[in-house]
Amino acid sequence: MSLDDDVAAAVQQMRAERNIGVSEAVNELARAGLAVPPQRTKFVQRTFPMGARIDVTNVGDTLEYLEGPRHR
């Protein structure tokens, strides 16, 4: 296993400050990261005009219009 430079630096800093081993430092840093709730951005549906000349909001009605009443 290899650690990125910034993570390795954080591990070394924690080891020096608290006089603990590598595994203990990595575990504590990982647990601290797991304790932080993920930041989520609000989903926004983007729409674009497609030039449709029929109302396609109801799929069943649209299929019936396009393929006839026996589309099912």
Domain range annotation of the chain:
5-35
In the predicted structure, residue 66 carries a pLDDT above the cut 90: no
Residues 6+ apart with CB under 8 A from 26: 3, 11
Q: Which residue type does 4 have?
A: D
Give the model's pLDDT for residue 39. Answer: 86
pLDDT tens digits for range 41-53: 999 999 888 887 8
Q: In terms of Cα–Cα distance, which of 2, 3, 28, 32 is closest to 15?
A: 28
Structure confidence by residue, pLDDT tens digits, 11-31 = 999 999 999 999 999 999 999
Residue closest to 2 by CA, chosen among 11, 40, 66, 45: 11
Q: What is the pTM of this model?
A: 0.51
